[in-house]
Structure 1
């Protein structure tokens, strides 16, 4: 076993596919397959469950991934301590809700580029549960998600408190008008969306169990459909005021228990030995 074997192993774990792992590591699939087989023989354990569609880590594979991350973090830390170049270099994989990425992503990229120019950022957006799962499985180093979160393996840093507003077409005078429609119509993101969950909780609290929904998975699409008069939605107030203040929509405040959300930055506690992660977290200390 050598360090490159572990990097190939991590690539397969990340991509869930031998071919994609080979492409990412600039090698051929046969080499990846051979090195994984060698690791399995060395540990006398099956590291991946192989199916026709993808490969998944076994329990033994998850354990090895945990130690592989620590080994690679220690090597990077040693390079900083022993080498002549003490500049932190590497990559941070960051997850966001789409709305949080739109608001905070550019500022984070600029600050990291200024303070740590050799650290590359890989930004992705997904639903809250997907982000948490990807951090847990080392596919993301950090993620910005709505609180609360209760997980002993994850650390969290409070980033900001946001306000959610109801966004409606012009012509509505109050939230009562929204609820008084013959059929309540809403523009929502897919299942798993935090803002959709809040919208549905608000409707249920007002004794509306069913509503007509149009699912669109882009902020711009949601606003366009609201402006067209199709329905209403819940969005962060800062998103609307920053990017859509000139649009033909109205906004209404929501009750505190529905209209406020705390955003936290989460990361694995056992990944804190990573110099690159430490550099990123220093932005928020």
Structure 2
């Protein structure tokens, strides 16, 4: 069985298109079609049905898919194991958003250095769009960005950071039960505009009120928002990682609200397809340890 035929099958299923798979594999569309036809002859079954301009994997294809993925993964791991020392760069260039730079990188990089002691690390901070562009243009090797997908990059979920309402030490809410959204809306609010969708989800909590929430400060920087709350300028909805130390010290206190359950910031790791697999695998494993609590 030809490994390239299996690779074509897995890529077509992932991208939902013969043309897109051909583009990613740097092949012509007829070459990809020929590989699938060859694999279908070997398996004696049809793997895809054509539906107008689209395609759909068959039941036989669905049954074969996990085995095909496993074959490719096993091959790639074996190849990496043999060539790892030759293929590792001397410098790993990492791009990340400000929140990742502030709250994750300082804990992550020393652990990564232990796993890859001979690697030097170059860190750049920017917006999600900036980092995506730098990865595409090969100015950085790995990017930590908001939950986005790009056709030329692989994007893997790294962690989710729950958003919660935080108040300062001694705030009147700490002695009250059954807080209403009206109560919260009347307080001076510091709004951290963490991203269009996330900000809208938080803002929608106040959508049913007659009066708009009392937003006194609006910032795109979580450190600024946090420090304003610490100065008792207001209360704020913030990602939990940004206030980890202050919560542990009791200077900031989370207020649990059913309305904010499920609202979180997702961070993904992006890279060019097939690149830096050993680093990404190590980062994901370390992330499970760092975000276990």
TM tier, smaller: 0.5 to 0.7
Specify which structure has the bigger relative contact order, considering alpha-carbon pairs within 8 angstroms and separated by 6 or more residues: 1
What is the aligned counterpart of 2:226 among 211, 220, 223?
Answer: 223
- Cα distance in 2, alignment partners of residues 105 and 128 from structure 1: 16
SS at match of 1:245: helix
Residues 57-95 of structure 1, C-alpha deviations (whole Å, 9 max, x = no match) = xxxxxxxxxxxxxxxxxxxxxxx96xxx74833322223
Q: Which has the larger radius of gyration?
A: 2
Two-structure CA RMSD over aligned residues (Å): 3.8
CA distance in 1, matches of 2:178, 2:155: 34
Contact 1:128 1:192 (C-alpha < 8 Å) held by counterparts: no
Report the alpha carbon displacement of residue 105 of structure 1 after superposing the two structures with TM.
Answer: 1.0
Offset of 1:103 from its aligned partner?
Answer: 3.3
1:248 to 2:251 alignment:
yes
TM-score (norm 1): 0.55
2:162 equivalent in structure 1: 163
My pick for the range that moved more, 174-183 or 88-97, is: 174-183
Q: Which whole-Å CA distance do the structure 1 matches of 2:103 and 2:157 have between them?
A: 16
Report the alpha carbon displacement of residue 210 of structure 1 after superposing the two structures with TM: 6.1
Indicate whether 1:233 and 2:232 are aligned.
no
Q: What is the distance in 1 between the residues matched to 2:226 and 2:154?
A: 34
1:266 deviation in Å?
A: 1.4
Q: Give the structure 2 partner of residue 63 of structure 1.
A: none
Q: Match of 1:117? A: 117
Seen in structure 2, the aligned counterparts of structure 1 residues 204 and 258 have a Cα distance that, compared at 3 Å, is farther
Q: Please say if residues 175 and 252 of structure 1, whose CA atoms lie closer than 8 Å, have aligned partners that are also in contact.
A: no
Provide the rounded CA distance (Å) in 2 between the counterparts of 1:125 and 1:193.
19
TM-score (norm 2): 0.53
CA distance in 1, matches of 2:227, 2:109: 28
Unaligned 5+ residue runs, structure 1? 1-79
Whether the 8 Å CA contact 2:243–2:252 is kept in 1: the answer is: no
| Corresponding position of 1:90 | 90
Q: Which residue of 1 aligns with 2:153?
A: 154
Query: Which runs of 5 or more structure 2 residues have no equivalent in the other structure?
Result: 1-81, 286-293
Aligned to 2:3: none
SS in 2 for 1:95: strand
User: Is the 1:163–1:261 contact (alpha carbons within 8 Å) kept by the matching residues of 2?
Assistant: yes
Question: Could you report, residue by residue, the CA deviation over 1:185-229 in whole angstroms, capped at 9, with x for unpaired residues?
Answer: 332446857764543343446576565342456544322211222
2:162–2:262 CA contact under 8 A, matched in 1:
no
CA distance in 2 between partners of 1:133 and 1:215 (Å): 27
Q: Give per-residue Cα distances to partners, 1:31-50, cap 9 Å, x unaligned.
A: xxxxxxxxxxxxxxxxxxxx
Q: 1:161-198 deviations in whole A, cap 9, x for unaligned?
A: 33211112322246845643675533244685776454
Task: Name the counterpart of 1:24.
Answer: none
